[in-house]
Amino acid sequence: AQSVTQLDSQVPVFEEAPVELRCNYSSSVSVYLFWYVQYPNQGLQLLLKYLSGSTLVKGINGFEAEFNKSQTSFHLRKPSVHISDTAEYFCAVSETGGFKTIFGAGTRLFVKA
């Protein structure tokens, strides 16, 4: 069975500082990995995805993530955050060729002025 662990429930950071949101997954088969963002009272929006190929994945809004197979991690990074990045971020995994997506519990990013 697959599982996703987001290691931080909340991450406070000052505006223009770098940030890393950590995600570890568990799976016995090869996987696809995703990061989604959720703003208040909205659905989830895809930030980036890893399907295959380069382990460094670039997404929207200046975010990037690195797939580390040996450490089963997929951490999300941004070099300089803005107030507008304040939101809930979810890491997700699905089996290659599978149909079910498993989400982590989320990390609340709070950007302070």
Partner 1 sequence: DAGVTQSPTHLIKTRGQQVTLRCSPKSGHDTVSWYQQALGQGPQFIFQYYEEEERQRGNFPDRFSGHQYPNYSSELNVNALLLGDSALYLCASSEGQGGQPQHFGDGTRLSIL
As measured in angstroms, the least distance from the Cβ of 28 to partner 1 is 16
Residue 106 engages partner 1 in binding (rule: CB under 8 A)? yes
Residue 96 Cβ vs partner 1, minimum distance, rounded to whole Å: 6
**Identified binder of partner 1 from the candidate list 45, 71, 80, 84, rule CB under 8 A:** 45
- Could you say whether residue 98 binds partner 1 (CB under 8 A)? yes
Closest distance between partner 1 and the C-beta of residue 59, in Å? 11
Distance of CA 98 to the CA centre of its chain: 20
Q: Which long-range contacts (CB under 8 A, 24 or more apart) does 75-78 make?
A: 75/20, 75/21, 75/22, 75/23, 76/20, 76/21, 76/23, 76/35, 76/47, 76/48, 77/18, 77/19, 77/20, 77/21, 78/18, 78/19
Q: If binding is defined by CB under 8 A, does position 67 make contact with partner 1?
A: no
Positions in 11-30 near partner 1 (CB under 8 A): none
